[in-house]
Every structure is written in structure tokens, then in C-alpha cells.
Amino acid sequence: MKTARYAIWTCALAILFMAGAATLARADAAASASAAELKDALAKAPSTSTLANGDPGGVITGTVNDVPVGDAKTGLTLGDVSNQVGQNKIAINFVWTLITGFLVMFMQAGFAMVEAGLCRVKNANHTYMMNFFVYTCGLFAYWIIGFAIQMGGAAGNGNLGGLQSLNTEHLITLFGTHWGIFGECGMFLARSTYDVGVMVIFLFEMVFMDTALTIVTGACAERWKFLAFAVSSVLMGAFTYPLYGNWAWGGGWLAQLGVNLGLGKGYCDFAGSGVVHAVGGLTALAVAMIVGPRIGKFNRDGSSNAIIGHDISAVLIGCFILAFGWFGFNPGSTLGASAAGNLRIGSIAVNTMLAGCTATLGALLYMWVFKGKPDASMSGNGILAGLVAITAPSGFVNTMGAAIIGFVAGVLVCFSCAFVENVLKVDDPVGAVSVHGTCGLWGVLSIGFFADGTSNYGGSWNGVTGSVTGLFYGDASQLVAQFVGCATLVGFVFTFSFVLNWILDITLGQRVSIETEVAGLDLPEMGQLGYPEFVFKPEPDFMVTAGKMAVA
Amino acid sequence: MAATKSQGSRFTLFMAGLTTLCAGIAFSDTGGGKSALVVGLVAVVASLWGFFKIKPLEGETGNGPQPAVMKLIGVAVVLGGWLFVLFGLHLTAGIGGRLFTSIVGFAVSLAGICFILAPAVNKNAIWKA
């Protein structure tokens, strides 16, 4: 018996040993085959003398000879080739994210033209300068602290190499679950965040942040003190925007609503209807309320006067610049063009332009039918409203949804402008509150309705497996998450901005003096007229009367 | 009086102070970082005090005083609507209930802006003078 058991064990061990040896032999054979194929490829690669004859058709440039070799003694290996494939994926994504970020940066020029064009000529220099200097204020504030608050805990993005150095998120524990509040890595992009991937995400997120900051300058144009604008913008770039940005995009609690409470895929905002535009629009509302209306905007009976902008051509060209830049805003938010569902960038771009188109139709037709004329400035606001609204859902909806979202935004912005001016009695020279605030909130909510469940960005979103799906495609819980996001925008972001700017009003005063406002901000605030060789046309009677009464 | 050298110098102090303060936070694990934290904070406070001192010299503005109590009540209502949404998520686990509390809280916040804050900021508006 003992001998039999011994024999069985010996046979079993021998069989195992032979199986292992066979596997190793097959692996060795495969490795040998791979090495042989690589050697063969190297042998067939064009030589230096062949390349010296030129390659007009591009058929022999870019070969196995261009793959870096890790060990010169070993020569080219499968590992070398695999490393190069990984590098190529990351390089494609880096280039895509950077180029689209450059497009978004160019939107600053569009915003400047739209805002200045809708203001009077005596304030042109001041308005342009606010849009110019906001880039500096925002970028600096974001570099010293804002980026760390927003993205300090955002590690894990596979498109950009992992971003593993952004690995510290401040958490609180409530009702037994962890909620992210703000990040802690990345101030001054120093120490471990001096990293190639971090640089790319910093640039991309920074230009989005600056879009939010520039929105406020439009709503408060023609009476906002330059000093107050500068301090307010620095603080918004350092704290207000990054805080909400962390909650939505930096691994914070809004994004975790899906994982923690089963609300869809958590709060979703593909490119920032909420994070960028609603934050900007609601902050604009808060500051416009504190600064107060322009002299002459409202009459004693509460009726409003139209204060016409000085350059409609600048407005419409500015809108086209913005629409062009939006091709960086939305498609660029995939943070890559290789792998993880990123080939959807074409869909996102088409959704973007389609929503802008139908929004323009909605606004222009509304104005033409109900007000009698196809108004140029409201048409410009219309296209922007559609682009703002599609920003959040662009990565999750089909073209039908995009068209509907855009059309609704185009009509909504007309109603909202009238409401803000005639009911709230808030003076907004460019319609920033309605375009960015109202339509930004609509864009956030529209995900909860129209997300069609066909997108696939690596098989999950915000850590929840599956695709973002809205009410019309079977998931009501996503709508709840979107409402929570909207409530946070109105309830927290607006309040935070209101209190912060209220304190600034007490400390340094937000508004220019009456004399400065009546004379125009260019000379007193900037020291130079925007158009020094122009002969100014006298202002309408109601403006002259209001100005005289104010000074008296 | 509009933009002046006084404004420029105080803004420079504010920016330098904020940068130093943030450097202090970033490098708070070093001795130099702790010193920068204190220096930066002092500089920011000094700049805000400087703004406050020059504010009266900048002339009367076209905006009348806004009632502080009414504004505070409005802010509280807006914030309260948001807090109702957050706690409503834990009052009920059902989607219908959570949707209801989210919509109600959102509406309360909007009402705070439209019916309390907007009238408050317009109470002494220049167009009523």
C-alpha cells in the first residue's frame, strides 16, 4: 500500500514537471519566435543609404528602427515595442488635450469682443482690459492654490498616464461614508506634481477656469471698479471655482453620489455647463446684485431702458470665435483621442455645433415672431446659450437630444433675459446671467433626461460601471444627481460668491464713483480712451438726465 | 477719483501677501514655510486694511445702502434650500422621495434669490432716488 502511494505521488510529480517544462518550452519557443520576427523586421527596415535618397511618399519613414531600444546588448525586444505603444497612446492624448486647451484659451478673445461690443464706447478700454487681465489673475491664482484645491486628489486618469502624484483628497465622513471636499496636492506645481501629465491637465483645467472668471466681467461691465474686479477674480480663481470643480471633477462628493448613494453615475458634467458656466453665471448674478444697475438703466417707475452696445460686428465675430473655441471645450474633455471611448470625439463635436445651430434658430425665431425683428445681439446670445447648454451633456447624448437641448436653450435665454431685467431688476449688459447661469443649469439637468446610455469611456463613469443614462432612457436616479448638482450651484456657489463679494464691497467698494460712471470708465480707470480718435455721439436724453440727477 | 497709485500699491501688497501665504501652506512642513504663512497672512490683512482706508476717498457711488439684515435672511434661505437637499438624500432611500426633496430644496434656494435678495439689493437703488 505504502509503495503504491509512493509510486502514484512520484508519477504525479513527474507529470507536473513535464507539463511545466513543456509550457516553458512553448514560452521559450514563442519568445524565440517573437525575437526572430523582430530580427526579421530589423533586417527588412530601410537602411540609412536608402533613406538618404528621400521619401516623398512617406512609405519608408517611421519603422522598427525608430523604436527606442532599452538595452543595446539585448537589442530590440517585445518589451521595447510594448513600451513604445504605451508611449504613443499617452502622446496622442497629450497632444489632443493640449491643442484643445489652446483653442479654449483663444475663447478669451471671443468673450472680450462680445462684451466690449455690447457696451458703450466710453467703456470699451475698461471692458477689454477686464477680459485681458482676468487671464492673468485667474492663471496666477490657479497656479498658487486653485489647481491644488480642485485636482489635488484626482489621481487615476488613465488617458494621461495616471496622474498618480495628485493623490491627496481631504475627506469627511458623514452617515458612514467618505466624501471628498478638496484636494491638497499641486500648489505651485511643485514637488511630486512637477510631472508631464500634471502639466497637461493643469493647462486644460486652467483655461476652463478662466472661462468662468471672464463671465462675471460681462454682467458687471460699465460700473465695476477695476481694483474690485481684480481682487474678486483672484479669489474666484483661487477658491470659488476650484471648490465646485473638485466636487464635480476632482474626485469630490458630487461625483461620488453614484458610488455612495446609488444615484446614477453620480453628478455628471462632461465639459462644464455646471462647473464652468453656471458657476460663472451665478457668480455674475451675485456680483451684479451687489454692484447695482447702471445709472439710467431703470426709470423711477421700474421700467427699463435699452442701453445699446457700440459694436454689433464685434459681438457677432466674437460669437464665432467662441463657437470655434468650443470645439476645444467639449471634444477636448475626453482628455484624449486614443482608447477608453475617446473615438467619440466626432460625436461630441457634432453635438456641439448642432446645439449651437438650433439655439440660434430658437432665439432668432422667438425674437422675430414675438418682437418683430431678428435681433442680432439676442441671436448671438442664442448661439452661446446653446453651446453652454450642450457643454455638460455633449459626451452622453445623441444628435436628436443635442438639437432639442440647444433649441430649448435658445428660447430659454430670451425668457431669462427678460426675467432678470424686468422682474429681478438686475442689470446685466451682456446677458451673462441668462446665457451662462440659466442655460448652464438647463445643460446640467438635461443630462438627467437625454443621456442615452451608449457612451463608453472605459466601461464606467465616476467609479460606477456602465454608461451615463437619463430618465428618457430608463434611469431616473441620474436626474436626482443632476438636481443635487444644480441645488449646490444655486445654494452653495451663489451664496459663497455673494458673501465673498459682499465682504469685498465693505472692504474696498465694488462700484466706481458716480462721476466716473457718467464720464465713462476708460479715462478715470484706465487712463486712456478705447477709441481716442473717435468723435463721440451724444448719449440719449434719458442717459443725460439720469446722469445729471445722479451727480446732483 | 478712480484708479490711483494707492490702489496699485495695495493691490501689489495683496498679491504678494496671497502668494507668500500660499507658499507657506505649500511648504508648511518646513521652517521657512511656517514663517511664510505668518508673513503672508499679515500682508493680506494689511492690504485689506489699506483698501478699507482709501475707500472713502474714491467718491460716492451710484448704489444706495442695501439692508444688511434682509440680505442675511436671503442668504440663509438660499443656503437652507441646499442643506435641505443634502439631508433629504438621507431621509429617504427611494428615488421618488429623493427627487421630491431635491426639487423642493432647489426651488427654496431660487425663491430666496428672487423674492428676498433681489428686493433687498434694490431697496435703495439709484433709480428709486
Q: What is the pLDDT of residues A73-95, one digit of tens each?
A: 888 899 999 999 999 999 999 99
Residue A36, in any domain of the structure: no
Nearest CA-CA partner of A279 in A165, A453, A56, A433: A433
Amino acid letter, B71: K
Contacts of A293 in chain B (CB under 8 A): 125-127
Q: Note the pLDDT of residue A199.
A: 97
Cell of A182: 478638496
Q: Is there a contact between B59 and A515 if contact means CB atoms under 8 Å apart?
A: yes
Residue-wise pLDDT for A20-30, tens only, equals: 766 666 666 66
Nearest CA-CA partner of A214 in A377, A378, A352, A104: A104
Q: Note the pLDDT of residue A550.
A: 76
Contacts of A483 in chain B (CB under 8 A): 85, 99, 102-103, 106
B52 vs chain A: nearest CA distance in angstroms?
A: 5
Task: Find the mean pLDDT for residues A341-368.
Answer: 96
Q: Note the pLDDT of residue A26.
A: 65
Q: Note the pLDDT of residue B97.
A: 95
Contacts of A425 in chain B (CB under 8 A): 118, 122, 125
B32 vs chain A: nearest CA distance in angstroms?
A: 16
Nearest CA-CA partner of A435 in A208, A267, A211: A211
Instruction: Please tell me the pTM assigned to this model.
Output: 0.92
> Is a pLDDT exceeding 70 seen at residue A33?
no
Q: Which domain holds residue A353?
A: 85-517+521-526
> Is a pLDDT exceeding 90 seen at residue A230?
yes
Domain harbouring A454, CATH code:
1.10.3430.10
Task: Find the mean pLDDT for residues A125-132.
Answer: 98
Contacts of B103 in chain A (CB under 8 A): 483
Contacts of B78 in chain A (CB under 8 A): 490-491, 494-495, 498
A87 interfaces chain B, CB cutoff of 8 Å = no
Check residues B105 and A35 and name the one with the higher pLDDT.
B105
Residue A199, in any domain of the structure: yes
Percent with pLDDT over 90 in chain A? 80
Cell of B19: 502668494
Q: Note the pLDDT of residue A264.
A: 96
Pair A479, B99: CB distance under 8 Å:
yes
A261 interfaces chain B, CB cutoff of 8 Å = yes
Task: Determine whether A207 is exposed, middle or buried from the number of CB atoms within 10 Å of its CB (0-12, 13-18, 19+).
Answer: buried
What number is the ipTM of this complex? Answer: 0.97
Q: Is there a contact between B51 and A476 if contact means CB atoms under 8 Å apart?
A: no
* pLDDT tier for residue A9 given thresholds of 50, 70 and 90: confident
Phi, psi torsion values for A280, nearest 5 degrees: -65, -45
Whole-angstrom distance, CA of residue A276 vs CA of residue A119: 23
Residue A296, in any domain of the structure: yes
Give contacts of A 491-530 with B, CB under 8 A.
491-492, 494-495, 498-499, 502, 506-509, 511-517, 521, 524-527
Q: Note the pLDDT of residue A6.
A: 78
Q: Which residue of B has its CA nearest to A487?
A: B106
Q: Note the pLDDT of residue A28.
A: 63
Nearest CA-CA partner of A107 in A334, A236, A347, A272: A272
Lowest mean pLDDT among A21-30, A121-130, A465-474: A21-30
Lowest mean pLDDT among A52-66, A277-291, A366-380, B70-84: A52-66
Give contacts of A 390-429 with B, CB under 8 A.
423-426
Q: What average pLDDT does chain A have?
A: 93
Q: Note the pLDDT of residue A29.
A: 63
* pLDDT tier for residue A501 given thresholds of 50, 70 and 90: very high
Task: Find the mean pLDDT for residues A356-380.
Answer: 97
Whole-angstrom distance, CA of residue B69 vs CA of residue B77: 12
Residue-wise pLDDT for A393-439, tens only, equals: 999 999 999 999 999 999 999 999 999 999 999 999 999 999 999 99
Q: Note the pLDDT of residue A25.
A: 64
Whole-angstrom distance, CA of residue B123 vs CA of residue A322: 37
Q: Is there a contact between B11 and A227 if contact means CB atoms under 8 Å apart?
A: yes
Q: Note the pLDDT of residue B23.
A: 97
Residue-wise pLDDT for B9-63, tens only, equals: 999 999 999 999 999 999 999 999 999 999 999 999 999 999 999 998 888 887 7
Number of folded domains that form chain A: 1
Q: Note the pLDDT of residue A544.
A: 73
Q: Is there a contact between A494 and B15 if contact means CB atoms under 8 Å apart?
A: no
Residue-wise pLDDT for B63-107, tens only, equals: 788 899 999 999 999 999 999 999 999 998 899 999 999 999 999
Residue A153 CA from chain centroid, whole number: 18
Q: Note the pLDDT of residue A470.
A: 97
SS3 at position A172: strand
